[in-house]
């Protein structure tokens, strides 16, 4: 790549944002555009980008001139975008986001975390373990790390002092096989974005291109990945977790006599921690060092993140956006309120995109019908739509109605604001509130708004 400015189209997206951060923290010039920024959205991210030195332009081609050496796009960027048309007119190379990430993978000793659930959490855990071990890793991931945010970084892209790089390797657009990491880690495979058969083809290609490989041993369907790999799990595996105890506040287990204590609820997070420890041991980190680092794990943005507590009601903000992740978060929430009399889970889940909602409709219905308890309440506001070409032949009510028919209280209000108002009005002491969903950067504002309504009902003494 010749020296010059790299322009990221759709820079507000989680994957593009991380690449832009990584790029500029490496001392290179970066700029970007995003239609959400044009509409006045993600104002906080705008300030963070500008403070970091990433120049922002309207998505009208004004940021694309001959000072741009390459233009980076994602699958979400349509051919009609003005920035893309101008780049082609000027003969500027246009690269897909994953091509740029693959370049970084080749240039580093990379640990790539893959799977349909838990990638962001495990990527952060691996980074924090390697950091605690003094190995100076870099990271490119989809969710900002709280540990990096506290140091003044945006938190999803960071350059360390060594050649170690930890990445979240996404399978959603089928580009995962572009990466050939030093170590590949496969957490799980469930229907998400694509049918299972298609996902397995993608993950098998990833397996073949990885040097070392670490894979979960407990899950059915992953047997084909295990030959020659390091396996982990609580039921079987070479790196075996034992004596697992979970509660609403965390989990404990041992590995080869080393005690792990994790400040996150749910078996799924214990499994995430075990995966991170197994991968880091391949990088030379002793289990005891991993256990110490994970005991101080600071979490990532919007992963079972506590917004606040008012009137003995907790508000949790979480990125869960596929049926398996929703089920896991509901499990963690129920564990957190176990033993509290009359406590309920009040969940507001915003579906994103008409195509993914249509594709996973039956799985969502099953997940909510099984994971919700009879006393819980679910609000499904209108599907989040950011623009572009879409067939709008499905609505939140198409999921809420079958869930309600299963005996659960599922509602499809006319707006998210109406859902938030109703939820805050119906909450009672001991309840836990979940605000769930992806892609929409204002969901955290929604969670904070619910918390503020609860504070108004129960002012602090």
Residue with tokens 């209000």: 413
pLDDT at 1 over 50: no
Is 237 contained in some domain? Answer: yes
Distance, in Å, from the CA atom of 354 to the CA atom of 420, rounded to the nearest integer, reads: 22
Q: For residues 237, 241, 245 and 247, what is the CA-based torsion angle, rounded to 10 degrees?
A: -80
Residues 175 and 252 in one domain: yes
Mean pLDDT of 110-122: 94
Residues 415 and 325 in one domain: yes
Residues 57 and 126 in one domain: no
Residues 274 and 397 in one domain: no
Residues 123 and 245 in one domain: yes
Residues 245 and 369 in one domain: no
Mean pLDDT of the chain: 93
Tens of pLDDT, residues 430-448 = 999 999 998 888 899 999 9
Is 57 contained in some domain? Answer: yes
Is 300 contained in some domain? Answer: no
**From residue 400, how far is each of 298, 379, 385 by CA, in Å?**
35, 8, 18
Is 101 contained in some domain? Answer: no
Residue 167: pLDDT band (50, 70, 90) is very high
What percent helix, strand, coil does the chain show, rounded to 5? Answer: 40, 25, 40
- Per DSSP (E only), the strands in 207-335 are 212-216, 230-233, 239-246, 251-255, 258-262, 305-310, 313-318
CATH code of the domain containing 216 = 3.40.1190.10
Is 81 contained in some domain? Answer: yes
Tens of pLDDT, residues 210-260 = 999 999 999 888 999 999 999 999 999 999 999 999 887 899 999 999 999
Is 367 contained in some domain? Answer: yes
Mean pLDDT of 34-47: 73
Residue 361: pLDDT band (50, 70, 90) is very high
Residues 63 and 173 in one domain: no
CATH code of the domain containing 345 = 3.90.190.20
Residues 91 and 147 in one domain: no
Domain assignment of residue 276, given as a range: 108-295
pLDDT at 43 over 90: no
Angle between helices 287-295 and 267-282 (to 10 degrees): 140
Q: Which range is least confidently modeled, 175-184, 192-201, 234-243, 294-303?
A: 192-201
Strand, coil or helix: 401: helix
Residues 9 and 76 in one domain: yes
Distance, in Å, from the CA atom of 25 to the CA atom of 44, rounded to the nearest integer, reads: 19
Residues 406 and 347 in one domain: yes
Is 362 contained in some domain? Answer: yes
Residues 79 and 16 in one domain: yes
Is 103 contained in some domain? Answer: no
* Among candidate residues 66, 96, 126, the one where a domain is terminated: 96
217 neighbors 232 (Cβ within 8 angstroms): yes
**In the chain, how many domains are there?**
3
pLDDT at 267 over 60: yes
* Among candidate residues 40, 69, 96, the one where a domain is terminated: 96
* Among candidate residues 240, 270, 295, the one where a domain is terminated: 295
Distance of CA 409 to the CA centre of its chain: 27
* Helix residue ranges per DSSP H, 118-191: 119-132, 146-149
Mean pLDDT of 17-25: 96
pLDDT at residue 170, rounded to an integer: 85
pLDDT greater at residue 405 or residue 118:
405
pLDDT at residue 155, rounded to an integer: 95
Residues 262 and 328 in one domain: no
Distance, in Å, from the CA atom of 406 to the CA atom of 68, rounded to the nearest integer, reads: 55
Mean pLDDT of 279-289: 98
CATH code of the domain containing 23 = 3.40.50.720
Q: Which residues contact 202 (CB under 8 A, 6 or more apart)?
A: 171, 174, 176, 177, 194
């Amino acid at each position: 790549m010749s020296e010059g400015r790299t322009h990221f189209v759709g820079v507000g997206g989680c994957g593009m944002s991380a690449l832009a951060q990584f790029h500029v923290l490496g001392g290179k010039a970066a700029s970007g555009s995003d239609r959400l920024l044009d509409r006045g959205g993600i104002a906080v991210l705008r300030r963070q980008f500008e403070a970091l030195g990433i120049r922002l332009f309207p998505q009208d081609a004004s940021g694309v001139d001959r000072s741009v050496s390459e233009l980076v796009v994602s699958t979400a960027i349509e051919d009609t975008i003005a920035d893309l048309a101008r780049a082609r007119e000027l003969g500027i190379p246009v690269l897909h986001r994953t091509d740029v990430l693959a370049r970084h993978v080749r240039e580093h000793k990379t640990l790539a975390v893959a799977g349909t659930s838990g990638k962001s959490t495990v990527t952060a855990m691996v980074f924090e373990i390697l950091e605690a071990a003094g190995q100076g890793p870099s990271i490119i991931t989809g969710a900002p790390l709280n540990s990096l945010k506290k140091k003044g970084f945006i938190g999803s892209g960071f350059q360390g002092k060594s050649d170690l790089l930890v990445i979240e390797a996404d399978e959603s657009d089928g580009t995962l096989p572009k990466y050939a990491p030093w170590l590949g880690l496969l957490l799980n495979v469930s229907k998400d974005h694509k049918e299972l058969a298609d996902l397995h083809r993608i993950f098998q290609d990833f397996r073949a291109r990885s040097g070392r490989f670490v894979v979960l041993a407990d899950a059915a369907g992953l047997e084909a990945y295990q030959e020659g790999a390091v396996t982990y799990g609580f039921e079987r595996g070479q790196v075996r977790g034992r004596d697992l105890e979970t509660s609403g506040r965390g989990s404990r287990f041992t590995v080869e006599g080393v005690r792990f204590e994790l400040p996150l609820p749910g078996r799924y997070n214990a499994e995430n921690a075990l995966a991170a420890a197994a991968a880091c041991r391949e990088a030379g980190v002793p289990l005891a060092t991993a256990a110490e680092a994970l005991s101080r794990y600071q979490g990532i943005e919007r992963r079972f993140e506590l917004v606040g507590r008012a009137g003995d009601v907790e508000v949790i903000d979480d990125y869960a956006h596929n049926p398996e992740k929703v089920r896991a978060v509901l499990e963690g929430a129920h564990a957190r309120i176990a033993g509290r009399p009359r406590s309920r889970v009040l969940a507001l889940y915003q579906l994103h995109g008409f195509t993914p909602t249509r594709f996973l409709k039956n799985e969502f219905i099953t997940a909510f019908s099984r994971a919700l308890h009879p006393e819980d309440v679910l609000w499904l506001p209108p599907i989040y739509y950011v623009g572009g070409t879409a067939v709008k032949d499905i609505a939140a009510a198409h999921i809420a109605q079958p869930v309600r028919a299963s005996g659960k209280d599922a509602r499809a209000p006319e707006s998210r604001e109406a859902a938030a108002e109703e939820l805050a009005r119906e909450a009672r002491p001991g309840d836990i509130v979940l605000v769930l969903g992806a892609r929409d950067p204002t969901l955290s504002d929604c969670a904070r708004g619910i918390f503020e309504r609860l504070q108004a009902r129960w002012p602090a003494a």
